[in-house]
Amino acid sequence: MTTLRIGVLAPEALDSNGDAANARVLVARARWAGLDAEAVQLRSAGDFAVRPDVLVAGTGADQDLPAVLDLLQEVGDELRGWVGDGVEIVAVGAGWELLTESFETPSGVVQGLGVFPGRAVTGERTTGDLVVQSTDGVLVGFENHVRRIDGFDTTSALGRVLHGVGDGHGVEGYRSGSLLGTHLHGPVLAKNPALADAILRRTADRHGLAYAATDERIRASDETARAAREVIAKRLGVVR
């Protein structure tokens, strides 16, 4: 039986806002849909020997990022090869920034992995609710970042900001092919399961499998997330 492997990048360093839980969301929904799935921790170069189907990269404190970047640079060729092979990437906050072309730090500009287009540039600290209109409907989450992403085609943005700041250009995130980058914490896939379903459908399809979000546990989880999004949207006065 095919097992879907959900890789979690440096989970101890990149889980400041619970973003590593995006992997648990994917594993749970895959299993509820009758597929075999497991989460694998990617802590060292040796852990990259086997390609995952999805790579989850969360956010972390700036002081923890150099060690993560060292790891990424060591396995950069493998990681870029994964993207070329269609591995799904879910990158949130600093995890997204590390995978862009470059990102600013207090000591200067650091070269990123170049998996995502654009540059992470320093701005004002932004903290609060973030609501985004996307092709999958209204997305909600919490943003907490000091960098924004510049220099990419905003037609590939995840969506239009309805409340909050996002990337500061009226848009938030990046979504193209197998790449998803965002400042939405929550974790984003738990609060917005339509994103998780799209990832799992593509992943299952690459293995010749079918992903169907019809199990009662999936429906119950979806209803909980829908109700939470509605409460947040109403509280913020966002028209849905």
What gap in Å lies between CA 143 and CA 189, rounded to an integer? 14
Q: Is 29 annotated as a binding residue?
A: no
Total residue length of the chain: 240
**Contact (CB, 8 A) for 71 and 45:** yes
Distance CA 80, CA 66 (A): 19
Task: Give CA–CA dist 22/24, Å, rounded.
Answer: 5
Catalytic annotation, pick one of 145, 163, 183, 185:
185
185 among known catalytic residues = yes
Q: Which residues are known binding-site members for substrate?
A: 125
The residues assigned a catalytic role are: 185
Q: Which residues are known binding-site members?
A: 125
